[in-house]
């Protein structure tokens, strides 16, 4: 084939209309679609959170019946984890990884589009369970057997298969990322020169490929127990409901790092830029990320301290879990040290990143408390756990995603967002998120169990505060949506320079803003 045809293949612009999005093989288009899907899921999951918080605003049953309340907590968790946080990070990886390593696109562009388009089908199927007889899944996002097998609503079959579709999508997406990073780096970009976002995503992709198949195995065992008479999770046949928890958390614990490692990468970029200093301790950041990934495979039982385990297991998993604090501490130390004596400015991405460091650390410390097995007997399944994982997921993962969007949006669309609106968004979110999740620590320690629609009267005041905080946090996200909308589609805002910020490092800042439809068709030279 001639050089000319090859040229034609490479130098096309996007298609017009809807076909651009259906047929695209472009990593930027696909990244955008992932981000839009994540935002839609965030809104849907957010509405479910509003239902939950409205019911819990005061004691007693007022708005929804308990079964529907359980459906809301379950679907809120599933939608936020699989529909909002994970796709948002995959979207960012799509946009950024090829630009950061100087690649023309992802390694397998068609598989990339396929991975994306499986997701709307999967979430369509999952959401459709809300309208099925018997209602949507109501057994919590961790879908423990036998609640999710013997006592599950009939829609569980569709839940299982929607998880299968998400799994195919995640595995294919992760294979794509990992191969892109291994094989598509510009000449001269050695592993230890890769930007941290790329490093963290490399390790995340490895975790995804390792554990998503185990989740597929777990839901397959459920399906077989429900419909084909197997006894994986039924002690009557020699199985064990606790086996479900083992298989689930073998997936589930690496999964929570899948949702936080890319955030570490993002924050490392942003803090260095706005401190106007190189990142402190690049090598230790890489090693810490790898250690966290390794440890994530040997700590899963800390989710199950109260199910009745041999003492040796309690001890092993308690100590291995506490070890995670070491590499995480290294990271927090590095971020703080990067800021130390820097010329700091506080643009919106930096505000979100600093809030990330502080609030994620709170979530990490409550995690350390939960890791102590004897104490966990008190905390287990209380609002303390809810506070813990919301601190790492909302001001943790979600804040990093918001920071990333503010930070790279000028590169994507060529315009600066409104800093004033950004600051409003940040401060309202910051106040809202703490008002929502901080009091949960107290009511949890005082003994309020999670996943209940009604509660004892002594928890009333804190719950009212939490609901108000949730309302503030939820509605302030509309500022973000408006800000992004006016910058992108609205075409308002100052034109961005190629560098956008004050001397940031990375290949993505060497190309024009907005980034051309195709970048780095000839690989740049990195020295």
Partner 1 sequence: MNTPRYYVPARSHWPIIGAGAVFLTILSLARSIQESSSGEVSGLTLALTVVAGCAMLFMLFGWFGEVIKEGLQGYNSDQLKKSFRFSMGWFIFSEVMFFAGFFGALFYARMFAVPWLGGEGDKGVSNMLWEGFSAQWPLLTTPDMEKFPGATSVINAWKLPLINTALLVTSSFTLTFSHHALRAKDKQKTLLWLGLTLLLGFTFLVIQVYEYGHAMNDLGLTLNAGIYGSTFFMLTGFHGAHVTLGAIMLTVMFFRVKKDHFKPDDHFGFEASAWYWHFVDVVWLMLFVFVYVI
Interior/surface letters 69-108, b for 16+ CB within 10 angstroms, e for the rest: bbbbbbbbbbbbbbbbbbbbbbbbbbbbbbbbbbbebbbb
511 sits in which H/E element: none
Bridge partners (DSSP) of residue 415 are: 495
Q: With respect to partner 1, which residue has the nearer C-beta, 7 or 495?
A: 7
Task: Give the number of C-alpha atoms closer than 13 A to the C-alpha of residue 21, restricted to the C-beta side.
Answer: 11
441 catalytically annotated = no
Catalytic residue among 24, 148, 200, 268: 268
CB of 370 to partner 1, least distance (A): 23
164 assigned to active site: no
Quick one: which of 229, 343, 374, 503 contacts partner 1 (CB under 8 A)?
A: 229
Distance in Å, CB of 22 to partner 1, minimum: 5
**187 is an interface residue for partner 1 by CB under 8 A:** no
Q: How many residues does the chain have?
A: 527
Q: Is 227 a catalytic residue?
A: no
The yes or no reply on residue 157 touching partner 1 (CB under 8 A) is yes
Q: Choose the catalytic residue: 303, 380, 388, 425.
A: 303
Maximal C-alpha separation, the chain? 77
Catalytic-residue membership of 328: yes
**Active-site pick, 170, 321, 366, 467:** 170
Q: At what angle do helices 325-339 and 282-296 cross, to 10 degrees?
A: 150
Cα distance between residue 300 and residue 515, in whole Å: 41
Q: Residue 433 in 3-state DSSP?
A: helix
Which one among 246, 277, 423, 451 touches partner 1, defined by CB under 8 A?
Answer: 246
Q: Which stretch binds partner 1 (CB under 8 A): 1-9, 191-199, 323-331, 436-444?
A: 1-9
Shortest separation between residue 163's beta carbon and partner 1, angstroms = 10
Binding span for partner 1 by CB under 8 A among 118-126, 193-201, 335-343, 357-365? 118-126
Candidates 62, 74, 188; CA nearest to 140 is 74
Task: Report how many residues bind partner 1 under the rule CB under 8 A.
Answer: 84
Site string for partner 1, 264-293 (x = CB under 8 A): ------------------------------
CA distance 110 to 243: 38
Instruction: Report residue 185 CA to chain centroid gap.
Output: 25
Active site residue 380: no
In angstroms, the CA 97 to CA 196 distance is 10
Residue 227 near partner 1 by CB under 8 A:
yes
Question: Reduced to 3 states, what is the DSSP secondary structure of residue 493?
Answer: coil
CB distance 347 to 282 below 8 Å: no
d(CA 442, CA 436): 12
Q: Which of residues 295-314 bind partner 1 (CB under 8 A)?
A: 308-311
Examine the residue annotation and report whether 257 is marked as an active-site residue of this protein.
yes
Q: Are 90 and 119 in contact (CB under 8 A)?
A: no
Binding mask 467-506 for partner 1 (x = CB under 8 A): ----------------------------------------
Instruction: Choose the binding region for partner 1 from 48-56, 207-215, 323-331, 423-431 (rule: CB under 8 A).
Output: 207-215
Pick between residue 202 and residue 295 the one whose CB is nearest to partner 1.
202
Which residue lies nearer to partner 1 by CB, 243 or 344?
A: 243
Nearest-approach distance from CB 198 to partner 1, in angstroms: 16
Closest approach of Cβ 266 to partner 1, in Å? 24
Q: Quickly count: other Cβ atoms within 10 Å of residue 403's Cβ.
A: 27
* CB closer to partner 1 out of 46 and 254: 254
Q: Is 76 labeled as catalytic in the residue annotation?
A: yes
**CA–CA separation, 83 vs 44, rounded Å?**
10
Residue 110 interacting with partner 1 (CB under 8 A): yes
Alpha-carbon distances, residue 487 vs 84, 207, 219, 349, 494 (angstroms): 22, 35, 42, 16, 9
Active site annotation includes 10: no
In order of 198, 336, 354, the CA distances from 95 in angstroms are 11, 28, 23
By C-alpha distance, which of 324, 177, 354, 198 is closest to 257?
324
Selected from 214, 445, 464, 526, the binder of partner 1 by CB under 8 A is 214
d(CA 105, CA 20) in angstroms, rounded, equals 16
111 counts as binding partner 1 under rule CB under 8 A: yes
Nearer residue to partner 1 within complex by CB, 182 or 427: 182
Identified binder of partner 1 from the candidate list 60, 66, 188, 237, rule CB under 8 A:
237
Q: How far is the CB of 513 from partner 1 (least distance, A)?
A: 22
Active site residue 253: yes
> Which of 229, 374 has the CB closer to partner 1?
229
Q: How many other C-beta atoms can be found within 10 angstroms of the C-beta atom of residue 269?
A: 25
For 202-244, what is the HEC assignment? HHHHHHHHHHHHHHHHHHHHHHHHHHCCCCCCCHHHCCCHHHH
Which residues ranging from 125 to 154 are in contact with partner 1 (CB under 8 A)? 125, 154
Catalytic residue among 53, 253, 380, 441: 253
* Least distance between partner 1 and beta carbon 459 (Å): 32
Q: What mask of x and - would describe binding to partner 1 in positions 3 to 42, judged by CB under 8 A?
A: ---x--xx-x--x---x--xxxx-----------------
Distance CA 100, CA 96 (A): 6
Question: Is residue 423 within the footprint of partner 1 (CB under 8 A)?
Answer: no
Distance between CA atoms of residues 46 and 471, nearest Å: 10
Q: Active site includes 170?
A: yes
CB of 114 to partner 1, least distance (A): 4
The set of catalytic residues is 76, 105, 141, 169-170, 253, 255, 257, 268, 302-303, 328, 331, 450
């Amino acid at each position: 084939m001639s050089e000319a045809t090859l040229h034609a293949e490479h130098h096309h612009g996007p298609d017009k209309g809807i076909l651009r999005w259906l047929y695209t093989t472009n990593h930027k288009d696909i990244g955008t679609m992932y981000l839009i899907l994540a935002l839609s899921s965030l809104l849907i999951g957010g509405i479910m959170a509003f239902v939950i918080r409205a019911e819990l605003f005061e004691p007693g049953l007022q708005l929804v019946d308990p079964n529907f309340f359980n459906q809301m907590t379950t679907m809120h968790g599933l939608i936020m984890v699989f529909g909002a946080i994970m796709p948002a990070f995959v979207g960012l990886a799509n946009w950024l990884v090829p630009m950061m390593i100087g690649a023309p696109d992802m390694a397998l562009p068609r598989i990339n589009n396929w991975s994306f388009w499986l997701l709307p089908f999967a979430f369509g199927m999952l959401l459709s369970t809300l309208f099925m007889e018997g209602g949507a899944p109501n057994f919590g996002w961790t879908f423990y057997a036998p609640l999710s097998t013997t006592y599950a609503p009939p829609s569980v079959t569709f839940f299982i298969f929607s998880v299968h579709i998400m799994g195919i999508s995640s595995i294919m997406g992760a294979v794509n990322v990992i191969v892109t990073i291994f094989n598509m780096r510009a000449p001269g970009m050695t592993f230890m020169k890769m930007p941290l976002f790329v490093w963290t995503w490399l390790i995340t992709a490895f975790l995804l490929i390792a554990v998503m198949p185990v989740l597929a195995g777990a839901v397959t065992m459920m399906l077989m127990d429900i419909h084909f008479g197997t006894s994986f999770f039924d002690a009557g046949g020699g199985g064990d409901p606790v086996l479900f928890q083992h298989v689930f958390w073998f997936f589930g614990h690496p999964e929570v790092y899948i949702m936080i490692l890319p955030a570490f990468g993002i924050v490392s970029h942003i803090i260095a830029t706005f401190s106007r200093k190189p990142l402190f301790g690049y090598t230790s950041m890489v090693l810490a990320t790898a250690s966290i990934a390794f440890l994530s495979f040997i700590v899963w039982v800390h989710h199950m301290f109260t199910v009745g385990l041999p003492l040796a297991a309690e001890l092993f998993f308690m100590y291995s879990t506490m070890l995670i604090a070491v590499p995480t501490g290294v990271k927090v130390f590095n971020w703080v040290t990067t800021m130390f004596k820097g010329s700091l400015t506080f643009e919106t991405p930096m505000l979100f990143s600093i809030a990330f460091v502080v609030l994620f650390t709170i979530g990490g410390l409550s995690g350390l408390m939960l890791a102590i097995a004897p104490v966990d007997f008190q905390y287990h399944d209380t609002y303390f756990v809810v506070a813990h994982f919301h601190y790492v997921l909302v001001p943790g993962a979600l804040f990093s995603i918001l920071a990333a969007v503010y930070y790279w949006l000028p590169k994507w669309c060529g315009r600066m967002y409104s800093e004033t609106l950004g600051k409003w968004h940040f401060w309202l979110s910051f106040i809202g998120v703490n008002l929502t999740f901080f009091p949960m620590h107290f009511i949890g320690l005082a003994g309020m169990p999670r996943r209940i629609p009604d509660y004892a009267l002594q928890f009333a005041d804190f719950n009212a505060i939490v609901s108000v905080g949730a309302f503030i946090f939820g509605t302030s996200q509309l500022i973000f949506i408006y800000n992004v909308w006016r910058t992108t589609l609205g075409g308002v805002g100052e034109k961005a320079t190629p560098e956008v910020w004050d001397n940031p490092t990375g290949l993505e800042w060497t190309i024009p803003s907005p980034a051309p439809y195709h970048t780095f068709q000839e690989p740049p030279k990195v020295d």
